[in-house]
Every structure is written in structure tokens, then in C-alpha cells.
Amino acid sequence: MQTGEKIKKRRFELRYSVQYLADLIGKNRATVYRYENNEIQNFPLDVIEPIAKALNVSTGYLTGWDEYDSNIEFIDLSDTVSIPVVVKIPASVPIEAIKDVIEHINIPKKWTNNGKQYIGLKVNGDSMYPIFLDGDTVIIQLQPIAETGDICDCYVNGYDVILKRIILTEKSITLKPENPNYSPNTYTHPGEVKILGKVVQV
């Protein structure tokens, strides 16, 4: 297994998003993707050390000097389930009946314990920049309720509003973009907004 694959595997085990790992090592997401896709050969020590620290592994494990790091617990990535990725989550169609699927991705099977359901959603637009970029795939846990601060996929009066941070009060819900070029909007809730699910991973 190459260094990039080990980085990605360990990030997956820790349930770190690409953005979170990028923040930990002081890089941007594009750079982390390059690392994980093995576009960097012979990682220099000043690059591999902060990655190893962020992932709580040894530099030797990542570079192949040591095939096993006794300090970490590994997860069998074969123990996964496949979920569909879509560009729009239907408001009232069961997940097994969704037809407009563009690809499938794997998530840990244990995430689906207790009947939890997930779907992948392709980000469209830049309203949630810099957390999500246009074209990113996020994993949505399907659920009709969420908490203030969660990033959710919602419908407003029957129309899809992809990915906004929600702020709840007793009688209202505000859908807040991260990009300052966009304005938040407040609606009556319950009533005008239907929450389809919340983002749990990029």
C-alpha cells in the first residue's frame, strides 16, 4: 500500500473530512487530495511528519518503513456498505427507489447500525464555500430533525435548498450559507422547511 493510500485509509478510520485534515496540517484540500492520490512521490520529512502527527501514526508506517504501527487500531475497510450518490435528494422517495444515481461510494457498515440510512450528495455551487467546494461529495445521514449548527439538506415550501447551516428557534429556522456573498433566510418552522438529513462527512 502506497503512502497516499495509507493516509486516506487512516483518515477514513478516524472519520476525518479532507477539510479537517487539511486544517490540521496547514494545507488546502486540493493538496490533501494530491497526497491521497499518490501524486507526490518520496514525501519529504517536513511534509510527512505533520500528517503522521495529525493521523496519530508513525512516519515509518506511512512511508513503508514499518508495515504496522502498534499504537493504532485499524478498521477492516472491506466491512463497508455501498450508498448511492445523487445531485438532488428527492423529498418523499424511499432511498431504495431513488433512480437519479450518478455513482456509489462505500461507508463503514457500522454507521448503518440501528437502521440509520445515508446517501451521498454532490455539492452544486459555492454557497457553502470554503467548507464545501463545488463538486465535492458529502455524506448525508437521512433524518427529519437536526440541531442548531448542523449542516443540512432541506426543502423550503417544496423546493430543494441544498446544504445550509441551520439555526433553530422555537418557531423558526434560519438557513445560513457559509459564503458571505450569500444571505441567510429565515422561515417558519415547523411548517415551511422540511429537513431531509444532515452532513456527517465529506
Phi–psi pair at 171, nearest 5 degrees: -130, 5
Is 74 domain-assigned? no
Helix (H, G, I), strand (E, B) or coil at 12: helix
pLDDT in the model for residue 76: 54
Do 49 and 123 lie in a common domain?
no
Note whether 98 and 142 are same-domain residues. Answer: yes
Q: How far apart are CA 29 and CA 22, in angstroms?
A: 6
Residues 18 and 115 in one domain: no
For 6, the enclosing helix (H) or strand (E) is helix 3-14
CATH classification at residue 169 = 2.10.109.10
Does residue 32 sit in the same domain as residue 96?
no
**Residue that is written with C-alpha cell 486544517 in the block:** 23
Average pLDDT of the residues of the chain? 85
Is the per-residue pLDDT at 147 higher than 70?
yes
What is each CA distance from 118 to 95, 197, 200, in whole angstroms?
8, 9, 9
Confidence of residue 132 (pLDDT cuts 50, 70, 90): confident
Q: Is the pLDDT of residue 77 over 60?
A: no
Residues 98 and 48 in one domain: no
Residues 200, 141 contacting (CB under 8 angstroms) = yes
Task: Check: pTM over 0.85? Answer yes or no.
Answer: no
Count of domains for the chain = 2
pLDDT computed for residue 154 by the predictor: 92
Residues 109 and 175 placed together within one structural domain of the fold: yes
The answer on 90 and 55 residing in a single domain is no
Burial of 144 (0-12, 13-18, 19+ CB in 10 A): exposed
pLDDT band at 125 (very low <50, low <70, confident <90, very high): confident
Based on the domain organization, do 105 and 176 belong to the same domain? yes
160 and 86 in a common domain: yes
The pLDDT value recorded for residue 68 is: 43
Catalytic residue ranges: 127, 164
Q: What is the dihedral of CA 182, 129, 87, 155, to 10 degrees?
A: -40
Q: At what angle do helices 18-25 and 45-55 cross, to 10 degrees?
A: 120
- % of the chain beyond a pLDDT of 70: 92
Residue 20 belongs to a domain: yes
Q: Are 179 and 126 in contact (CB under 8 A)?
A: yes
Domain match, 84 and 176 both? yes
Confidence check: pLDDT of 155 > 70: yes
Q: Which residues contact 86 (CB under 8 A, 6 or more apart)?
A: 98, 100, 101, 102, 119, 120, 121, 122
* Domain harbouring 19, CATH code: 1.10.260.40
Domain that holds residue 98: 80-201
Residue 73 above 90 pLDDT?
no
Please determine, for residue 19, whether its predicted confidence score (pLDDT) is greater than 50: yes
Residues 108 and 159 in one domain: yes
In this structure, are 122 and 34 located in the same domain?
Answer: no
